[in-house]
């Protein structure tokens, strides 16, 4: 049995589909369906069982879940504006620690979601402690667990892999609301208003020129499955494309995919299809204006597939959303 925590969420449900496509259906999804609409993400998935995340640790300790081949731990509170630090630390740090300890004691491979947010304002994005500087409690909860893993890795005999996700976009993220990808929001804006709103310049970048490492969710799934296939590999790895693209690039790609044809940025601005709005004051000092994954460590352990180009991923995403 494969356990996927956060299996009803964005990356988790895509991972479950990826496992199904391999013929794997003996899957236990662990999640929180208080947000009931997330069920739609797994409606087309084949699984064995579902458990509420609050019961999993106790169920594991009393042996109520047996025959686990691996745990993918994707469940988390991912709201970077969350103000309840106690909740964030319970869900993201303490829960992760308890799962890790069970896996270490039971010899179960443990592949978990970290975050590129641990790098703060950058500018270096390689997996070294000197590059890490969290800007909010979400990032700190992820960073603290990475530090716990590093501290105890020498005493753990089973596989432990942390994946620092950069800006993931793709199907099954509609439940995330404001935390959904900019690709999701830009598509909605085009369909509803015929225009896209981007932030004005900030952090030394011009209007819409802030840069992120945007990665297609299918590539994320493929990397997770690579580690499932290679249980001798351990460590913390960046998971991005290795390229920084502007928000203007993302907006142009969405316009091109929705409307067809090439999209010239000056022309889109002149036509009002792309406009710029003031940078939100509440994000000051908490916003990453630039991210770019250093993927050398991932390549060095043998992952050699090419990541999907932004324009191709956005075109596929728009096609998927148009069909819904």
Same domain, 206 and 219: no
- Span 260-281, pLDDT tens digits: 877 789 999 999 999 999 998 8
Asked if residue 67 belongs to a domain, the reply is yes
Same domain, 147 and 184: no
Domain that residue 124 falls in: 2-168+214-241+293-307
**Tell me, what CATH number does 134's domain have?**
3.40.50.720
Question: Does the pTM of the predicted model rise above 0.75?
Answer: yes
CA distance 314 to 324: 16
Asked if residue 323 belongs to a domain, the reply is no
Same domain, 31 and 74: yes
Same domain, 140 and 206: no
Asked if residue 317 belongs to a domain, the reply is no
Does the pLDDT value for residue 171 go beyond 90? yes
Same domain, 39 and 140: yes
* Average pLDDT rounded to a whole number, residues 234-240: 98
Same domain, 98 and 230: yes
pLDDT of amino acid 154:
94
Asked if residue 322 belongs to a domain, the reply is no
Asked if residue 49 belongs to a domain, the reply is yes
Same domain, 29 and 138: yes
Contact of 71 with 77, CB cutoff 8 Å: no
Residue-by-residue DSSP string for 7-69: TTSHHHHHHHHHHHHTT---EEEEE-TTSGGGGGGGTT---SEEEEHHHHHHHHHTT-S----
- Give the count of domains, the chain: 2
Annotated catalytic residues are 138, 176
Same domain, 236 and 263: no
Asked if residue 155 belongs to a domain, the reply is yes
SS3 of residue 169 by DSSP: strand
Same domain, 253 and 161: no
List, as own/partner pairs, every contact residues 270-276 make where C-beta atoms lie below 8 angstroms and the sequence separation is at least 24, other chains included: 272/195, 273/194, 273/195, 273/196, 274/195, 274/196, 274/198, 274/208, 274/248, 275/195, 275/196, 275/197, 275/198, 276/197, 276/198, 276/199, 276/200, 276/207, 276/208
pLDDT of amino acid 263:
73
Does the pLDDT value for residue 282 go beyond 90? no
Weakest-pLDDT range from 63-67, 171-175, 204-208, 286-290: 286-290
CA distance 312 to 315: 5
Residues ≥6 apart with Cβ < 8 Å to 240 = 116, 125, 165, 166, 167, 213, 215, 291, 292, 293, 295
**Tell me, what CATH number does 194's domain have?**
3.90.25.10
Same domain, 278 and 188: yes
Contact of 243 with 259, CB cutoff 8 Å: no
Asked if residue 321 belongs to a domain, the reply is no
- Span 20-55, pLDDT tens digits: 999 999 999 999 999 999 999 999 999 999 999 999
Same domain, 192 and 47: no
CA distance 276 to 122: 24
Asked if residue 313 belongs to a domain, the reply is no
Same domain, 161 and 75: yes
Q: Is 73 exposed, middle or buried (0-12, 13-18, 19+ CB in 10 A)?
A: buried
Contact of 165 with 11, CB cutoff 8 Å: yes
């Amino acid at each position: 049995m494969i356990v996927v925590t956060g299996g009803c969420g964005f990356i988790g449900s895509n991972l479950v589909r990826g496992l199904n496509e391999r013929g794997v259906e003996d899957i236990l999804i662990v999640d929180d369906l208080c947000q009931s609409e997330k069920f739609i993400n797994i409606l087309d998935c084949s699984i064995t069982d579902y458990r509420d995340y609050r019961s999993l640790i106790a169920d594991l300790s009393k042996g109520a879940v047996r025959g686990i081949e691996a745990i993918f731990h994707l469940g988390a509170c991912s709201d970077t504006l969350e103000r309840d630090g106690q909740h964030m630390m319970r869900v993201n740090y303490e829960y992760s620690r308890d799962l890790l300890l069970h896996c270490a004691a039971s010899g179960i491979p443990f592949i978990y979601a970290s975050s590129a947010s641990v790098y703060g304002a950058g500018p270096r994005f390689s997996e070294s402690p000197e590059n890490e500087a969290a800007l909010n409690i979400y990032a700190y909860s992820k960073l603290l667990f990475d530090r716990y893993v590093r501290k105890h890795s020498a005493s753990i005999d089973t596989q432990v892999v942390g994946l620092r996700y950069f800006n993931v976009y793709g199907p099954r993220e509609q439940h995330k609301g404001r935390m959904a990808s900019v690709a999701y929001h830009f598509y909605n804006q085009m369909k509803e208003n015929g225009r896209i709103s981007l932030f004005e310049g900030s952090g030394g970048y011009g209007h819409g020129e802030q840069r992120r490492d945007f990665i297609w969710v299918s590539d994320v799934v493929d990397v997770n499955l690579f580690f499932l296939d290679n249980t001798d590999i351990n460590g913390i790895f960046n998971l991005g494309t290795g390229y920084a693209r502007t928000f203007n690039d993302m907006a142009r790609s969405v316009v091109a995919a929705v409307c067809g044809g090439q999209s010239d940025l000056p022309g889109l601005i002149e036509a009002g299809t792309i406009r710029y709005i003031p940078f939100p004051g509440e994000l000051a000092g908490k916003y990453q204006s630039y991210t770019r994954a250093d993927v050398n460590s991932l390549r060095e352990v043998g992952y050699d597939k090419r990541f999907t180009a932004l324009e191709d991923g956005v075109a596929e995403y728009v096609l998927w959303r148009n069909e819904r």
